[in-house]
Structure 1
Amino acid sequence: MKIKTPGFLKVVCASLVLTSLGIQSCKTNNKEDKKDIVEAVDPADKIIQSITIPVFPDKTFNITDFGAVADGTTLSTDAFEKAIAACHEEGGGKVIVPSGKFLTGPIHLKSNVNLHTEAGAVILFSKNTEDYLPVVHTSYEGVELMNYSPLIYAYEQKNIAVTGKGTFDGQADKTNWWPWCGSTRYGYTEGGPHQRNEQNLPRLRKMNEEGTPVAERIFGEGHHLRPTFFEPFECENVLVQGVTFTNAPFWVMHPIKSNNVTVDGVTVSSHGPNNDGCDPEYARNVHIKNCVFDTGDDCIAIKSGRNNDGRRVNIPSENIVVEGCEMKDGHGGVVMGSEISAGVRNVYVRNCIMDSPNLDRAIRIKTNTLRGGFVENVFVNNVEVGQVKEATLKINTHYAIYEAQEGEYIPVIKNIHLKDVTVKNSGKFGVLIRGRKEAKIQNVTLENVTIDKAETIMSVEDSEPVKFVNTTINGEKPGEK
């Protein structure tokens, strides 16, 4: 497939999006015509250019020199810790994981450290939950807490990376971590522990509602909330490049409260419960490119906290570019929500392929009146969709799962634009929108979009009229007879 160079994102500097990025219009003082010339600027490229990618000193620290054993059975947690500490203390460099199978507990990164995996390296994570203690400051479904350590974790660090050609295998399966979701599909048996037991999610939800200090939201041992796989928490200048993640307990990549994040050429092949591929949360200046997502949940889900926690933190996720990626199985290709209470803005999706009979939607926005929040300035350009189950574009402000989700926080969704998108099989709907009478969905446009094989062309409630320009669904021009 040939990918076209995007032209749609080149907009004038005086636009809403460029104003939010702080880009000013340019003028000329040419005396001959004295005309103001506004420079055409691609705001997605401006975001990419602003992101700092970490660079590391030319020093190497091989984990085998610190006691790691490549037999897949000897626990090498201490060796990883010692190698990372030595690298950090000497000003930074690469911690090398050579070819072979290495068993470890959680890996905690430090500033100026690049955890680099060579071809043939497989990092197997322990199935013993006690290895992920003591608890650390982390997050579960948009709510901060003290819980089991993520498998790869960094807290308040700068210039960190996970790179190379190796594979990180979380070893989660129907006997380990996954049954805690409570679904028999993933190994749960009746009467067993699961996340919806009173001491787990209900307890955390109540702490969220009551504003319990995070330091007092202690879970971990005796509780059943699964850890994320890779989580840089309040970090700056983060790079994930080339590696493969598989068999995750929960969300795979979760950059939270982090700035300048680059995810490049990563493969996520993980079909467990809640196995989202990449979930930027309260994250700014994020570039996700050239990745393959084959997941048990959303391929990419942009988030910003759940309910009161999101409003307390109040950091929107913004300035996020997704390009050159392939989305296979998943609940959605690029999704915003549902934990979205602090809002999302300035999202650019371009030059991607989305195609699988097990991919539910291409672009999805989901929230409700407990979450509230906002989504604005979403630009989808030059995307090829082979097959999805439900819809090419779905916007839902009545999202609910397990329990009622109605409250007093009316979500605001506006400026959602698709251009140069082709869809061979859109499933049940071409466009599916459910807004709110109190705050209708605003300014949705489809331009140069072709959608085929939709059972229903569109279903739109409580939205301003969708604007269609040179667009066909099932060969018809929406709005025309």
Structure 2
Amino acid sequence: MRNKLKIITFIINILVASFSLAAKDVAKENDEEKKIFNVVTYGAVGDGKTLNTLAIQKAIDAASITKSGGRVFFPKGQFLTGSIELKSNVDLYLSEGSIVLGSTDPKDYQSVSSEGRPDSPKKDDNTHLGLILAHNATNITLYGKGTIDGQGRALALTIDSLHHAQVQVDPNYNVLSMRPSETVRPKLFSFSQCKKVKIEGIDIKSSAGWGLSFELCNDLTINRINLTNRAFWNNDGMDITDCTNVRITNCDVNSADDGLCLKSYYPGYFNDNIYIANCTIRSSASAIKFGTASYGGFKNVTIEHIKIFDTFRSAIAIESVDGGIIENIKVQNIKAKNTGNGIFIRLGHRAGEKPGRIKNVLIKDIKVQIPFGRPDINYDMRGPEVPYSHNPFPASIVGIPGHYIENVIIENLEITYPGRSSKGIAYIPLNRIEQVPEKIKNYPEFDMFGELPAWAFYVRHVKGIEFRDIKIKLDHEDFRPAFVFDDLLDLKMEHINLPKSSKKEIVFKNVKNVKLDDNAVSHREEL
């Protein structure tokens, strides 16, 4: 009996100890829950008129020194502010009906810190001014049902007026376009060298320049945000520069410049392990773009389930012109309607000691509709016009002599082109296709080569390219061939569906090691 009592007592003691430890763990978790820091408590006034920069920063600073971090809370109201800087372990929560308003006075803005940032060959190309700043911070979150409104047009016009009044002169002022340069116009977000950043749920709009900018960040998640950035020129949606482990999902982006733009300003650094999915994008430039800044590179990028509409330039633009490396890229399940160009892949040599590299690119399950006129004609902020007469542009995949784009697969693609080309507008006959300029050092863009001799695809300086299950449509006739291939090695084409035509639709010049199915062979012409 005594032994049984000892055993029962021992078991009870173990259970009591276990419950005690569990209670301590729960208490510990409760102690570590983030404390709420209401900006109103720190003096903020949500009347849309009072400048609350100091009050909001006080709340952020107070939250940052708590043991487990704090949650800065914006109640219903309009909170006017200049630059505020987030700190580690601080959340910014915007409740429903809360609006963070960016000041329209440029004196209220500052740049994110440059401490520890590597040198960039283009130091003056990328401003670090911003409304919401973060530098070298870890574990920060912005979320809720509220709105961030940068009041970008009013801010940009104030900057413009101060320049002309000689009060605050912009040394890089764009005289031709009559607008202040990007270097003096603040972004909405300017985050640098941060880790574990999460942005979710909020509406964001109206920057004076780029929208959301992230440089050299790691572990970045952006989910379910609505981003409208059409207030002024150079209004990119999101710019991801040399970041690693990035997820952008379920977002709606409507921008006056590039929608989602991957950039690389820092040699030796990469955008690496990037996932973009389930987004809707409209742009007066390109919807999704790699570049143009391309000093380090981009690798291991997956983009899928994207809807694109009313976009002036390219649905997908992949560009290395500054020595950067682009490799292991997968783009799939894209639907682009009313878009100026489907695919643009360019290897150039604008900067850097030697050209970069583009290799291992898979583009599949793509449906694109190209209109005859401007896709963004109904928008007030439109991209610059193409400065010469031209027929509708084809998709382009173009390297430079001696430096080839390598290993490209295009599969299950359907593109509808408008046709209606005219030799009276522009004309490059097939016996003079060498007149298409190389433009090795030029800014990369789908219209950079001028008039092109093909209506569907123009491909030059490529090694290893496959076209599989391709359906190309024309709304009206086009006098040019569908495909022109110039200086290619290792080309494979199978299941190519082309419109009925009395002319050859696949034209070769200096193409070696070719594998074509019977339909492609019947359309082939060798120059």
Q: Residues 337, 158 of structure 1: CA spacing in aligned structure 2 closer, same or farther, 3 A cutoff?
A: same
Q: Distance in 1 between matches of 2:40 and 2:123?
A: 35
* Higher RCO, 1 vs 2 (CA within 8 Å, ≥6 residues apart): 1
Q: Distance in 2 between matches of 1:287 and 1:223?
A: 26
1:206-355 matches, within 5 Å, as 225-271=184-230, 272-305=232-265, 310-311=266-267, 314-355=268-309
| 1:445-472 deviation digits (Å, cap 9, x = unpaired) | 1111111125411111212353111111
Would you say how many aligned residue pairs link Structure 1 and Structure 2? 383
Q: Residues 343, 429 of structure 1: CA spacing in aligned structure 2 closer, same or farther, 3 A cutoff?
A: same
Task: Say whether 1:451 aligns with 2:415.
Answer: yes
Q: Larger C-alpha radius of gyration, 1 or 2?
A: 2
In structure 1, the residue matched to 2:156 is: 177
Q: Distance in 2 between matches of 1:225 and 1:452?
A: 41
Q: Distance in 2 between matches of 1:445 and 1:297?
A: 28
Query: Of 56, 64, 73, which residue of structure 1 is paired with 2:49?
Result: 73
In structure 2, the residue matched to 1:82 is: 58
Q: Conserved in 2, the CA contact under 8 Å of 1:70 and 1:102? A: yes
Q: Residues 87, 135 of structure 1: CA spacing in aligned structure 2 closer, same or farther, 3 A cutoff?
A: closer
Q: Conserved in 2, the CA contact under 8 Å of 1:137 and 1:147? A: no
Q: Distance in 2 between matches of 1:189 and 1:131?
A: 20
Q: Residues 111, 354 of structure 1: CA spacing in aligned structure 2 closer, same or farther, 3 A cutoff?
A: same
Q: Conserved in 1, the CA contact under 8 Å of 2:270 and 2:299? A: yes
The alpha carbon displacement at 1:270 in A equals: 1.0
Q: Conserved in 1, the CA contact under 8 Å of 2:148 and 2:203? A: yes
Q: Conserved in 1, the CA contact under 8 Å of 2:320 and 2:358? A: no
Q: Conserved in 2, the CA contact under 8 Å of 1:62 and 1:98? A: yes
TM superposition score normalised by structure 1: 0.73
The alpha carbon displacement at 1:177 in A equals: 2.7
Q: Conserved in 2, the CA contact under 8 Å of 1:148 and 1:226? A: no
The alpha carbon displacement at 1:333 in A equals: 1.5
Matched AA of 1:240: I
Task: Indicate the structure with greater strand content.
Answer: 2
Matched AA of 2:498: E
Q: Distance in 1 between matches of 2:36 and 2:364?
A: 46
Q: Conserved in 1, the CA contact under 8 Å of 2:471 and 2:498? A: yes
SS in 1 for 2:214: coil
Task: Say whether 1:379 aligns with 2:378.
Answer: no
Q: Conserved in 2, the CA contact under 8 Å of 1:245 and 1:268? A: yes
The alpha carbon displacement at 1:89 in A equals: 1.2
Matched AA of 1:340: S
The alpha carbon displacement at 1:417 in A equals: 1.1
| Range moving further from structure 2, 90-99 or 425-434 | 425-434
In structure 2, the residue matched to 1:364 is: 317
Q: Distance in 2 between matches of 1:79 and 1:190?
A: 32
Q: Distance in 1 between matches of 2:209 and 2:111?
A: 19
Q: Distance in 2 between matches of 1:450 and 1:133?
A: 47
Q: Distance in 2 between matches of 1:469 and 1:188?
A: 54
Q: Conserved in 1, the CA contact under 8 Å of 2:103 and 2:155? A: no
Q: Distance in 1 between matches of 2:344 and 2:171?
A: 28
Task: Say whether 1:114 aligns with 2:65.
Answer: no
Matched AA of 1:293: V
Matched AA of 1:346: N
Task: Say whether 1:105 aligns with 2:58.
Answer: no
Q: Conserved in 1, the CA contact under 8 Å of 2:314 and 2:342? A: yes
Q: Residues 135, 253 of structure 1: CA spacing in aligned structure 2 closer, same or farther, 3 A cutoff?
A: closer
In structure 1, the residue matched to 2:369 is: 424
The alpha carbon displacement at 1:291 in A equals: 0.5
Query: Of 167, 185, 189, which residue of structure 1 is paired with 2:147?
Result: 167
Matched AA of 1:76: N
| 1:242-291 deviation digits (Å, cap 9, x = unpaired) | 11221112221111111000010111111122211111111000000000
Q: Conserved in 2, the CA contact under 8 Å of 1:193 and 1:224? A: no
In structure 1, the residue matched to 2:105 is: 128
| 1:124-157 deviation digits (Å, cap 9, x = unpaired) | 1112222224773299998457976421011111
Matched AA of 2:41: D
Q: Distance in 2 between matches of 1:332 and 1:287?
A: 20
Matched AA of 1:413: I
Q: Conserved in 2, the CA contact under 8 Å of 1:447 and 1:470? A: yes
In structure 2, the residue matched to 1:394 is: 344
Provide the identity percentage.
29
Q: Distance in 2 between matches of 1:393 and 1:190?
A: 44
Unpaired runs of at least 5, structure 1 = 1-55, 199-221, 400-404
| 1:67-114 deviation digits (Å, cap 9, x = unpaired) | 110100001111111111121111213211111111011111011111
| 1:272-327 deviation digits (Å, cap 9, x = unpaired) | 2221111111100000000011101111111110xxxx22xx21111100000001
In structure 2, the residue matched to 1:439 is: 403
Q: Conserved in 1, the CA contact under 8 Å of 2:399 and 2:462? A: yes
Query: Of 68, 81, 93, which residue of structure 1 is paired with 2:70?
Result: 93
Q: Residues 449, 97 of structure 1: CA spacing in aligned structure 2 closer, same or farther, 3 A cutoff?
A: same
Task: Say whether 1:157 aligns with 2:137.
Answer: yes
Q: Distance in 1 between matches of 2:351 and 2:85?
A: 39
| Range moving further from structure 2, 103-112 or 449-458 | 449-458
In structure 2, the residue matched to 1:218 is: none
SS in 2 for 1:80: helix
Unpaired runs of at least 5, structure 2 = 1-31, 175-180, 373-391, 420-454, 474-496, 500-504, 507-519
Q: Residues 342, 179 of structure 1: CA spacing in aligned structure 2 closer, same or farther, 3 A cutoff?
A: farther
Q: Conserved in 2, the CA contact under 8 Å of 1:454 and 1:473? A: no
Q: Distance in 1 between matches of 2:219 and 2:111?
A: 29
Q: Residues 295, 178 of structure 1: CA spacing in aligned structure 2 closer, same or farther, 3 A cutoff?
A: farther
| Range moving further from structure 2, 126-135 or 322-331 | 126-135
